[in-house]
Structures are given as structure tokens and as C-alpha cells.
Structure 1
Amino acid sequence: MDEIDVSLLELLQMNGRMTISELSKKLTLSRPSISERMYRLQEKGIIEGFSARVSPTAIGRAVLVFIQVSELKVSVSDFEQLVINDLDIIECHRVTGTVGYFLKAALADMDSMRLLIDRLIPYGHLNTSIVLTSPVPSRSILPKVSE
């Protein structure tokens, strides 16, 4: 990857709907060159896909919660199948250390949070944190370019 690829990744992460023409103008490259670079980045698995960022609050899921799960009482595969099928859980990360999983859930209200916790309690020890604010809700991720 060169600096142009890095700039292309940055622009696409800021606005995934940016057209080839717009990218071409911003990077001062031909449209075929931009298309080829995007194709190559997708083929290498660097660009995994394109999606929309949705505001949880705007769709009635204003309560964001992080749940740490430790001391699993079931197999890893059983627990992971549970969280895969629970649509309130929007992220799940298996981690090292004393905590086994970090879950992120987007919920409508405190009653929805209680119901989610009730569903999870049989599977392990839970530590729940409600998000108050998100100073960095998401950030572009770019490779380090050697100088």
C-alpha cells in the first residue's frame, strides 16, 4: 500500500458513498485508476465491504450498554451461538484476561436492558456499564505508512 491507497481508505471511511468521480477529483487520479485501486484493496481483503452507520438513538435504541462476561457456565460455542442470535447485541468480542467477552448492546430502554441481562445471567458472571457519552464513537483505521 502506498500513500494514495491510505488516502483512498481514509476518504471511503469518512464517506463510503463517495463516487469514483469524487474520489478521482480528490486524489487527482483517473477514474479507472481509482477503480483499480479499490478493486485491489477489496481483493486483498483490506476493504471488507461497505455499510451505513445508523444512529441507535434515531431508531429507538438510545441505551448503549457494554457487558463484560466472565466465568462462563456453558461451552464457548453455546455462548457464542446465543449472542449471535440475540439481535440486541451489536458487537461481541472474545478477549484475553479475566474477562472472556465484551458485548455491546443497543437497547430501547432500561426494561430492555433488564431483559437482556436476565437472558445472559445463566451463562456467566456479568459486569454491565451504561454508555453516558461517546467522545470517539468511531474512527477511521489506517495503516502506518513508513516514512
Structure 2
Amino acid sequence: MIDDTDRLLLQALAADARAPLKDLAEAIGLSPPATSERLARLRERGVIRAFTIEIDPLALGFPLQAIVRVRPMPGALATVQQRIAAMPEALECDKVTGDDCFVLRLALRSIEHLDQALDRLADCAQTSSSIVKAQALRRRVPPLKLET
């Protein structure tokens, strides 16, 4: 379990994962060495998996994103999963329950690019695509304190 100090530290990191240790320590009311130790324990326990960056796909020439629901043909689940993993356009993919097995997010240069990406799955899966107009909520950390 995590305590209130860990929660404060996680909130500070969620706001700025590049914050200097001194600033993190000040935010949670501990010394920098104690804060460093807290960070190390959170990483060892797998609470913190990585410190990462967020890149805007538009800045790299990908003005479109699509959400694609993927339903593999019978016996093709592993093949579909491998092909999705090999797609450079794939930003993320969730394996889900229900009629579809995967929900995939793609970064794309054009509608033609979407067609090319989907063609790589056409012989082993059915797909249904939606173009993303705007991201109403960015991925965020889970609630750090459960409501009681």
C-alpha cells in the first residue's frame, strides 16, 4: 500500500515528472535523501513503472488519429496481436472483452494512411474505425485516494 506521503509524491510527479528532487522533497515535506528513497521504493514495488515524455503526434506530421476496433478471424488472435505490435502507427492497444478483441489507437498522416494500416489486418481480422475529432480527456494517473 501507499501512504499519504507517497500519494503527495505521485501527485507531484504526475504534474511534472522532470521536477528536481529538491522540488519534490519540498512538495512532500521530506528531505531530498528521504524523497529519493521513497522514489526508489515506489519503483522497486512497481508503483512507478517509468518516467516518460508526451510527444504531440501533430508536431511529427500525424494530423489524424483513429480508434480501431479489431475482431480477429477464428484462430488468428496471436497473428493479429503480432501485426498490431509491428505497426509503427499504433500508439496503444488494449485487449478487451466483448465482440472485439482489441481497441487500437493509430497516429496517421491521412485517410489513405489509415487504409494502408488497416490493409495489414484485412486477411486476419475485421475492423471498425472512428476518426478522433478531439481528445476530451488525456490519459491520467488513477485516483490516488479512494473515496470513502
| Pairwise TM-score range, normalised by the shorter structure | over 0.9
Q: Check if 1:121 corresponds to 2:127.
A: no
What TM-score does the superposition give when structure 1 sets the normalisation length? 0.92
For residues 52-131 of structure 1, what are the structure 2 equivalents within 5 Å? 52-131=53-132
Equivalent pair of 1:67/1:129 in contact (CA under 8 Å): yes
> Using the alignment, how far apart are the partners of 2:93 and 2:123 within structure 1?
17
Equivalenced residues, count: 147
Which stretch has the larger CA shift, 70-79 or 95-104?
Answer: 70-79
Structure 1 residue runs of 5 or longer lacking an equivalent are none
> Using the alignment, how far apart are the partners of 1:51 and 1:126 within structure 2?
30
The Cα shift of 1:146 comes to 7.1
Alignment partner of 2:120: what SS? helix
Match of 2:39 in 1: 38
Q: What percent of counterpart residues are identical?
A: 27
The Cα shift of 1:75 comes to 2.5
Amino acid at match of 1:60: G
Equivalent pair of 2:8/2:27 in contact (CA under 8 Å): no
Structure 2 residue runs of 5 or longer lacking an equivalent are none
Alignment partner of 1:29: what SS? coil
Alignment partner of 2:115: what SS? helix
Q: Deviation digits for residues 11-58 of structure 1, max 9, x if unmatched?
A: 112211111111011122100111011000000001001110000111
The Cα shift of 1:71 comes to 4.2
Alignment partner of 1:54: what SS? coil
Q: CA RMSD in A?
A: 1.6
